[in-house]
Amino acid sequence: MNYFRTFITVSPDSKAVSGIVPSKAGSIASLQHALLLEQPYAFTSDELLFEVHVRRNGITRTDRGHERALFFARSHACLRASPLVKQFGWGLHHDEEGKVAAYGIGADRYRELAMRPDLKIVPGMRSRRG
């Protein structure tokens, strides 16, 4: 699910007070973090989710088209459920084209985005019920 003009804030039950760099190499959080910080506003939500899938599964360039069709034939959690949002203290800004970038909760830019009246502000999903 792609978002437009939206800021996904850190989950309300997250204990993070700043953006934490995920340390487990090859994890979803680590790959999302690396892609978003190396290439801010280069991917839509769907593109990011698929690129992480490609990298985690060693999918070749020639197999991407077929794998993309298989990947999107199933439903996937949106970025509100990303471990970056739920555990690691990163907010995700989606611009008018749906391209996404990450900002740590302690950063000035995070606070600016969370207060912008022209953005839809949505919280990240909680890690626990209740």
CA distance 128 to 130: 7
pLDDT at 38: 97
10-62: per-residue pLDDT in tens? Answer: 999 999 999 999 999 999 999 999 999 999 999 999 999 999 999 999 999 99
Predicted confidence (pLDDT) at residue 121 exceeds the cutoff of 60: yes
Domain ranges of the chain: 6-123
CB burial of 98-117 (b: ≥16 within 10 Å; e: otherwise) equals bbbbbbbbebeebeebbeee
Q: Kindly indicate the confidence band of residue 127, based on its pLDDT and cuts at 50, 70 and 90.
A: confident
67-100: per-residue pLDDT in tens? Answer: 999 999 999 889 999 999 999 999 999 999 999 9
Beta bridge partners of 123: 9
Predicted confidence (pLDDT) at residue 130 exceeds the cutoff of 70: no
Predicted confidence (pLDDT) at residue 129 exceeds the cutoff of 90: no
Look-up of token digits 């487990």 = 24
The predicted model gives 102-129 an average pLDDT of 94
Q: Kindly indicate the confidence band of residue 3, based on its pLDDT and cuts at 50, 70 and 90.
A: very high
